[in-house]
Amino acid sequence: MDTISTIESNVEPIVSVLSMTSLFKNREEQLTDEANGVYEKSKEDCISSFDSWCESDQTDFVEYLLSKMSHCQHSQINSYLKPMLQRDFISLLPKKGLDHVAETVLSYLDAKSLCSAELVCKEWYRVISEGMLWKKLIESRVRTDSLWRGLSHRRGWVRYLFKPSAGEQHPDHMFYRRLFPKIIQDIESTENNWRSGRHNLQRINCRSEASKGVYCLQYDDHKIISGLRDNTIKIWDRTSLQCSKILTGHTGSVLCLQYDERVIISGSSDATVRVWEVVSGQMVNTLIHHCEAVLHLRFNNGMMVTCSKDRSIAVWDMTSPTDINLRRVLVGHRAAVNVVDFDEKYIVSASGDRTIKVWNTSNCEFVRTLNGHKRGIACLQYRDRLVVSGSSDNTIRLWDIECGTCLRVLDGHEELVRCIRFDNKRIVSGAYDGKIKVWDLAAALDPRSPNGTLCLRTLVEHTGRVFRLQFDEFQIVSSSHDDTILIWDFLSPEAPAPTTKNLHSPSRSYTFVSS
């Protein structure tokens, strides 16, 4: 009994506490319900007033409310607004008959972004597919990038671009979708071939009867025009590698030439400059001014510059092939002027006197001298602010033409550097040691790059002095005292052009060269 009394006495306070807790809880719930009722009524009144206001008043009211809120509340509202502000306009535009606007927007994407866009949803994929956006991306690259343009012609897929020929129909979207990565693969493979020296070699034996040697050349997709030591200009067919025409008239070695779609202009050790029609091969003009060998010439946009062993530079106005008049003679070099180059701003000349001189193109006034080579300078190229020169001191120098400073000296050739060319990626040089060297231009312009990393590859096939070379993204064409013209092709010609049925990776067959 005592035990039961003890338990009852302990339970009574607990029950009393629970009863009080329940009472308070019910009261809180009652107060909460009353507050909720007041809130709901106030909210309805506020919304009713809000709906009656104009948009500007509504905006002003919301801005005022936001100013009264805490940072935490701002964050919560921002999370709520974000999905409301997002619009899939690419999917919405076609529903309003604006497919072309959606296509135009997506056409600004690069390849990686276009791949991602295809995965967004079926509607985005449809816009990309029906808009032929992969085809348009490839066409844009071909229009703006010489590498893509050259590759399109050499691989043959250019026929699937732009407007189809009469009676032809272009492939569907998937063809171009598969073609794009194959093009990228081809470009990367070509770049690797340049760096590793893998190439296919074609050789033209000029078979000069008397004096042997090819002093100068220029090429395009259809022909190579060369100037020879035997006084002739020979034109070679690029497909057959056979001589298609021989131009005679010079009485000395043809030391330099340049051509465009209309004329060939050549300079010779006979001290004359001669003008020839490209198509007929007929000589239409002879310029007699220099008193010694004409060593180099350049022409462009109605202007020509020639230089000579007589230490002078002549600037000519070209109205037509038969109307070429001397404008100005530039003097200042103390030895033979071996090479000239120019643009609309500067004429640049280099001489056996070890100097490079810069002249103003418009008024032909002297600007500055670049000093640094230790022996005579045999070759140079000038573009934008950069001048690259080669010398009989066996070095190549890179110069900033505006301030006249030497940016880098490239060592590696064992004899006189006779010819040099550069583009946006590479410098290619040829020398009397019979070697052609390929240099990394970006690395050469970076003062942090070690000298030992600058030469990418040395090509050795000529058996005599290398006199002249030109190159593009895919090939080097060089000529030599050994009476040959060599074509170094870094894009495998065995690769089949893509078809609508076959876009497999091309097979490769290379000739390996020494480094």
The answer to whether residue 25 is domain-embedded is: no
187 and 298 inside one domain = no
Mean of the pLDDT values across residues 279-305?
A: 97
What is the number of structural domains in the chain? 2
Q: Are both 139 and 208 inside the same structural domain?
A: no
Q: Of 84-88, 188-192, 325-329, 419-423, give the lowest mean pLDDT range.
A: 84-88
Q: Taking 60 as the threshold, does the pLDDT of residue 274 lie above it?
A: yes
Percent of the chain clearing pLDDT 70 (strictly above): 89
Mean pLDDT calculated for residue range 329-345: 98
Query: Do 200 and 189 share a domain, yes or no?
Result: no
Tell me if 137 is assigned to some domain: yes
pLDDT of residue 499 exceeding 90: no
Task: Write out the residue range of the structural domain in which residue 95 sits.
Answer: 89-163+170-193
Residues 109 and 247 in one domain: no
Q: Can you say whether the dihedral through the CA atoms of 68, 70, 71, 73 is positive or negative? A: negative
What is the model's pLDDT at position 40?
A: 83
* Complete DSSP assignment for 29-63: HHHHHHHHHHHHHHHHHHHHHHHHS-HHHHHHHHH
Same domain, 364 and 240: yes
Give residue 508's pLDDT: 33
Q: Is residue 26 in a domain?
A: no
Dump pLDDT digits (tens) for 14-51.
Answer: 445 445 555 555 555 565 666 677 888 888 888 888 89
Q: What is the pLDDT of residue 23?
A: 52
Task: Kindly report the pTM of this predicted structure.
Answer: 0.79
Residues 138 and 273 in one domain: no
In this structure, are 131 and 203 located in the same domain? no
Residues 108 and 225 in one domain: no
Please check whether residue 272 lies inside any domain of the structure: yes
In terms of domains, do 354 and 460 share one? yes
pLDDT of the residue at 30: 60
H/E run at residue 265? strand 263-268
Say whether both 109 and 251 belong to one domain.
Answer: no
The answer to whether position 47 is within a domain reads no
What's the one-letter identity of residue 391?
S
Question: Contact at 8 Å (CB) between 351 and 308?
Answer: no
Of 193, 208, 233, the position where a domain reaches its end is: 193
Q: Are residues 390 and 406 in the same domain?
A: yes
Which position has the higher pLDDT, 79 or 336?
336
Question: Could you tell me the CA-to-CA distances from 127 to 123, 173, 184, 339 in Å, in that order?
Answer: 6, 11, 24, 55
| pLDDT score, position 209 | 80
Residue 6 counted as domain residue? no
> Could you tell me the CATH number of the domain that includes residue 181?
1.20.1280.50
CA dihedral (55, 61, 67, 71) positive or negative: negative
CATH of the domain at 382: 2.130.10.10
* pLDDT above 80 (res 386): yes
Instruction: Give 79-89 pLDDT, tens digit per residue.
Output: 888 887 777 77
Mean residue pLDDT across the chain: 89
Bridge partners (DSSP) listed for residue 273: 267, 287
Asked if residue 46 is part of any domain, the answer here is: no
- Position 442 confidence tier, pLDDT thresholds 50, 70, 90: very high
Contacts of 197 (CB under 8 A, 6+ apart): 457, 458, 459, 512, 513, 515
Same domain for 148 and 214, yes or no, is no
**Does the residue 284 lie in any domain?**
yes
**pLDDT bracket for residue 257 (50, 70, 90):** very high
